[in-house]
């Protein structure tokens, strides 16, 4: 087994606990929405994006709006254009075919861990792939268990499972915090996300807040550099 693949897999195991938990929540929600297990499995394999899958399941009903669901999922995942762009240095000398293979397994979790490790030592794209495969395996196991226990768990919030999705992103946010220079862009992003959520229907507020936060980060970094 490739050393970088193994190291990436192992590095993502600790955060896999939370991934398993909110994967189980998705499985429970699928049962409540009367989604068949094979449909959940296909989502895991071909979509493999936790936030998008939650959006899809949330919008799932007898008169499923395919176009609406597709647009919502696309908007939620627009951030991956920025995520994948940030991995350019990791993919130097990698063919386009290999990049597509790796990118399917990119998640917020393995991306954050890969970027953190990239600052510490030289790694290859196999580290990212190992992390992605780790998260995928745990995600599939979590959603499957949640699905088969769904009939016995009618209220996920009773067990705190509904907080797992929030908890993991809080942990990732803390790990990505670089210091006081991040404070203003972070506050702008958080405040705009809350404001847009109240003013705009759907999940587009996530994208708008991310764009505004990224723009503010660029502006304030320039101010610090030249001011």
Tens digits of residue pLDDT in 64-84: 667 667 766 776 676 677 777
185 and 147 together in one domain: no
160 and 186 together in one domain: no
Mean pLDDT to the nearest integer, 114-123 = 89
160 and 91 together in one domain: yes
- Residue 159 is predicted with a pLDDT of 67
Mean pLDDT to the nearest integer, 98-108 = 85
Joined together, the tokens standing for residue 162 give: 């509904």
Predicted confidence band of residue 225 (pLDDT cuts 50, 70, 90): very low
Number of domains in the chain: 2
Range of 50-54, 153-157, 187-191 with top mean pLDDT: 187-191
| 226 pLDDT more than 50 | no
Domain of 201, in residue numbers: 178-227
32 and 138 together in one domain: yes
């Amino acid at each position: 087994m490739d050393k970088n693949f193994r190291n990436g897999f192992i590095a993502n195991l600790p955060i896999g606990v939370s991934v398993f938990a909110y994967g189980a929540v998705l499985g429970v929600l699928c049962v409540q929405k009367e989604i068949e297990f094979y449909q959940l499995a296909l989502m895991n394999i071909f979509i493999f994006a936790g936030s998008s899958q939650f959006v899809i399941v949330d919008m799932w009903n007898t008169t499923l709006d395919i176009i609406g669901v597709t647009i919502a999922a696309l908007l939620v995942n627009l951030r991956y254009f920025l995520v994948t762009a940030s991995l350019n240095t990791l993919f130097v000398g990698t063919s386009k075919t290999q990049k597509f293979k790796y990118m399917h397994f990119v998640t917020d979790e393995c991306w954050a861990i890969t970027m953190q490790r990239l600052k510490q030592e030289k790694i290859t794209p196999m580290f990212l792939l190992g992390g992605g495969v780790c998260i995928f395996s745990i995600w599939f196991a979590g959603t499957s268990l949640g699905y088969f226990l769904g009939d016995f768990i009618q209220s996920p919030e009773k067990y705190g499972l509904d907080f797992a999705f929030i908890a993991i992103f809080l942990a990732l946010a803390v790990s990505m915090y670089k210091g006081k220079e991040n404070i203003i862009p972070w506050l702008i992003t958080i405040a705009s996300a809350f404001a847009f959520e109240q003013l705009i229907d759907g999940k587009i507020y996530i994208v708008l807040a991310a764009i505004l936060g990224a723009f503010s980060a660029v502006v304030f970094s320039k101010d610090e550099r030249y001011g």
